[in-house]
Structure 1
Amino acid sequence: MQRICVIGGSRYFGKLLVQRLQAAGHQVTVINRGSAPPPAGVEHLVADRNDEAALTAALGSHTFDVVVDQVCYTPVQAAIAVRAFAGRTRRYVMTSTIEVYDPATAALPAVPSGTPVPEEIVDPATWLVAMDLPWHDDAYLQAHYAEGKRQAEAVFARTGGFGFAGVRSAHVLGGGAQEFTGRLAHYAGRITRGEEITVHAKALPTVFIHHEELADLLLWAAAADFTGPVNACSDGPLDAYDLAAVVARQAGREAVYRTVTAGEEASPFSLDRHYAMSNARAKELGFSFSHTTDWLPGAVDEALTTEPSPTA
């Protein structure tokens, strides 16, 4: 049994993670703003992680073996966490994102198209951190999501106060209405209604992970002792056409496509640049991934169930 703190953990795969940690016999503490209570038997500390004084006060004399941070988006938030958890934990796991590899958001080393992107392409130990950017501005943060995650990883990687691991998650699907980004629902809805899926002329593949598999990986990462970034994605990249084909097959309808013009926004997961991740490091460390085609039809069925049927 370990004492494990989860920051966030009130929805989607974070909620599943809390349940899995508890089922595995760990002593679990959840820190969030109080919007949703954790399961019975899980300690709940209410604090805004952006308020350092409030966070420190809520922690009191608590110490943990591991902290799993589900909701860190900026270097400012990371720096607050570093100070608040100094001397309180031996290990810190942050949920990061595939978006850190997006070449449209940063100058990154080139990777040949079709080659799965390894973790070392973005090294948090060497990434420039700029605390003075307007990270507290929601519009700025939304437009600089990938950079915020890169810099947050960099702050943790340089602390030296605890072992740090960054889990760079692929695009998360599954769970029907729980999948709050609505990206799979976009495909389910448009194909069900006979509406166009907008795609790039040459849509490049990306990688995905089921929300339950990501919860399992975070559970594994919390108990492991590796440090540094690790990519989390199921085997089997898909492009927008592949994804739409699965949705169309499950819906019993035909997918209709329209190629976007230069600069026009396309459907989610239609990419005109390459940054599909490699999951080789996680496998070498001992985690076994499913194949995307193992779970995608079921995830599509969930999305179709929550999508209203087309009118006659």
Structure 2
Amino acid sequence: MKILVVGGTRYFGIPMVNALLAKGHDVTIATRGNAKVDFDGEVSYVIFDRTDSASVKRALDNKKYDVIIDKIAYSSNDVKALLENVSCERYIQMSTCSVYHEDHANISEDEFVASEYPLEWMGRITDYAKTKRNAERAVLEYMDSSVCTFVRYPVVLGENDYTGRLRFYIEHINNEKPMFVDDLNEAMSFIHEKEAGEFLAYLADHPLSGAVNGCSNGTINISDIISYTEEKLGKKAILDENGDAAPFNGLKDTLSFSTEKAREAGYTFSDLESWIYKLIDFEIVG
């Protein structure tokens, strides 16, 4: 198939593109031109600023693709600038589990329905959840919901995580720096970067309509991350309400997501325990 990937040269975009190439797809990557990657095969590039409709129009000139995988649709205006200038048979958007309104265990896709959300045309605002809800909703102004997929992930972790969220805990324990953790016992789900990319690629060949969650099976407590790291480093965490605020603070409850819809489509996610402690080991070694 002829596939346009908007974004794809960073983080879990790389295993996604490699998985598409392994299936023999004709992949074009849209970027701002700031990065090129040695993928496992040949790709084409187009360069544009996806926040600028005129830039998209000049680059794509109303081309048509079998599938568009939109990894960086951060707002409704982003979606508008793209879809008013290109067409496709199917559209896959990298959304987020942040669209859900309440934290709890086993959240299902129907807890946020994009078609029922009041659309606001907006740019990339600081309210991440709101802007991503609008990004999903905006697609339905251009395409029928039956040919759209909204992929919702929790926090993505991996060896190439440029945000340093897991590394924060390891560095603070190793350097004996105080950190503030608001609740040691809240549990949450994650997904590994490789699986995050590969599931997006899987959906190119296995169409799903509407939203679909993706995450590893199981949850981990922040206390488990800390205690495992303490044991590995032979040092104790310094927990202090005046310390540096830790990533993943602010949970209201156990946070996990149902992946039944993905399983019904033939995709089974890994168990969290199969990779999370190996990733901590990797971060410790540095």
Q: Please tell me whether the aligned partners of residues 165 and 227 of structure 1 are also in contact (alpha carbons under 8 angstroms).
A: yes
Report the Cα offset of residue 281 of structure 1: 1.7
Taking the aligned partners of 1:80 and 1:61, their CA distance within structure 2 comes to: 12
**In terms of mean alpha carbon deviation, does 181-190 or 296-305 score higher?**
296-305
Q: Return 5+ residue gaps in structure 1 as ranges.
A: 104-110, 307-312
- Aligned-partner residue type, residue 120 of structure 2: A
Counterpart position of 1:188:
170
Q: Please tell me whether the aligned partners of residues 202 and 272 of structure 1 are also in contact (alpha carbons under 8 angstroms).
A: no
Report the Cα offset of residue 155 of structure 1: 1.1
Counterpart position of 1:152:
135
- Aligned-partner residue type, residue 170 of structure 1: P
Mapped pair 1:169 → 2:149 = no
Q: Please tell me whether the aligned partners of residues 183 and 249 of structure 2 are also in contact (alpha carbons under 8 angstroms).
A: no
DSSP 3-state at the match of 2:46: strand
Report the Cα offset of residue 246 of structure 1: 3.2
Counterpart position of 2:111:
121
Q: Please tell me whether the aligned partners of residues 184 and 222 of structure 2 are also in contact (alpha carbons under 8 angstroms).
A: no
Taking the aligned partners of 1:265 and 1:97, their CA distance within structure 2 comes to: 26
Report the Cα offset of residue 158 of structure 1: 4.4
Counterpart position of 2:252:
273
Counterpart position of 1:310:
none
Q: Please tell me whether the aligned partners of residues 125 and 158 of structure 1 are also in contact (alpha carbons under 8 angstroms).
A: no
Counterpart position of 2:42:
41
Report the Cα offset of residue 201 of structure 1: 4.2
Taking the aligned partners of 1:75 and 1:26, their CA distance within structure 2 comes to: 28
Q: Return 5+ residue gaps in structure 2 as ranges.
A: none
Report the Cα offset of residue 252 of structure 1: 4.1
Q: Please tell me whether the aligned partners of residues 5 and 64 of structure 1 are also in contact (alpha carbons under 8 angstroms).
A: yes
Q: TM-score, normalised by structure 2?
A: 0.90
Report the Cα offset of residue 18 of structure 1: 1.3
DSSP 3-state at the match of 1:181: coil
Taking the aligned partners of 1:215 and 1:36, their CA distance within structure 2 comes to: 18
Taking the aligned partners of 2:204 and 2:261, their CA distance within structure 1 comes to: 16
Report the Cα offset of residue 78 of structure 1: 1.2
Q: Please tell me whether the aligned partners of residues 3 and 66 of structure 1 are also in contact (alpha carbons under 8 angstroms).
A: yes
Counterpart position of 1:282:
262
Are the structure 2 counterparts of residues 33 and 69 from structure 1 closer, same or farther at C-alpha, using a change threshold of 3 Å? same
- Aligned-partner residue type, residue 267 of structure 1: A
- Aligned-partner residue type, residue 259 of structure 2: N
Q: TM-score, normalised by structure 1?
A: 0.83
Can you list the C-alpha shifts for 1:97-127, whole angstroms capped at 9, x where unaligned? 1211254xxxxxxx7x4x3111111110111
Counterpart position of 1:224:
206
Counterpart position of 2:277:
297
Taking the aligned partners of 2:13 and 2:227, their CA distance within structure 1 comes to: 29
Percent identical across equivalent pairs? 28
Q: CA RMSD in A?
A: 2.2
DSSP 3-state at the match of 1:84: coil
Q: Please tell me whether the aligned partners of residues 248 and 255 of structure 1 are also in contact (alpha carbons under 8 angstroms).
A: yes
